[in-house]
Amino acid sequence: MNAVRQPLPANLTALDVMTDAPVIPVIVLNDVAHAVPLARALVAGGIRMLEVTLRTPQALACIEAIAREVPDAVAGAGTLRRPEDAQAAANAGARFAVSPGYTSALGAACRAVHLPLLPGVATGSEIMMAMADGITEMKFFPALQAGGTAMLKAWHGPFFDVRFCPTGGISTSNAPEFLALPNVACVGGSWLTPADAVLAGDWARIESLAREASQFRTRSK
């Protein structure tokens, strides 16, 4: 049985998004018909922060369907690259945003439409650029290629007040190692929504993967 979930504030913060569950699924959808049953399966498994990446023509329609039909899910938009992506995501009903990198223009666009943003960073300079705009919650991307847990441990000293969501190369086998770090609030991963399971409509498998992921423990809260 799932634990009782706390109600979420009307105006989410990036920290709310990161600390709701140990894993944020990184979702690629090619068919709007898959959006709602997929979201329901993830929520049933204990994962309600859902990052739907803007990598397909159907992505915005999928976010809109989830926002409209799955009230217990929190639809977010991933792969924001341009300021106009923020407005499109907000119009579709997204409640948070995730980007592979960061620009001040993208940050300003997200603030203008009240979308908490998890910007992707891979270097100290990128972290400092985001911090200069008031951001202290970030996506470490691509996590494995950019240094993995060793890099996060090195950053903990100079960036002691920043919380990270490592994404890129994270799996069920290495997620606990990342989540054990004091500056990691959650991880992002695509393994919760395997393409073959989505195509087959195997929502029971996806619910099981979500349930397993929701049981991971984080050191940082």
User: Positive or negative CA dihedral for 31, 36, 39, 45?
Assistant: negative
Q: Is residue 97 a contact partner of residue 118, using CB atoms and an 8 Å limit? A: yes
- Which of the residues 51, 64, 137, 207 is marked catalytic? 51
**Do 139 and 119 touch, CB atoms closer than 8 A?**
yes
Question: Count of residues for the chain?
Answer: 221
51 belongs to the catalytic site = yes
Helix extents (H) in the chain? 14-19, 35-44, 59-69, 83-92, 104-112, 124-132, 148-155, 175-179, 195-200, 203-214
153 has catalytic annotation = no
Phi, psi at residue 98, to the nearest 5°? -135, 140
List CB contacts of 173: < 8 A, sequence separation 6 or more: none
Which one is catalytic: 64, 126, 137, 139? 139
Q: Which residues are catalytic?
A: 51, 139
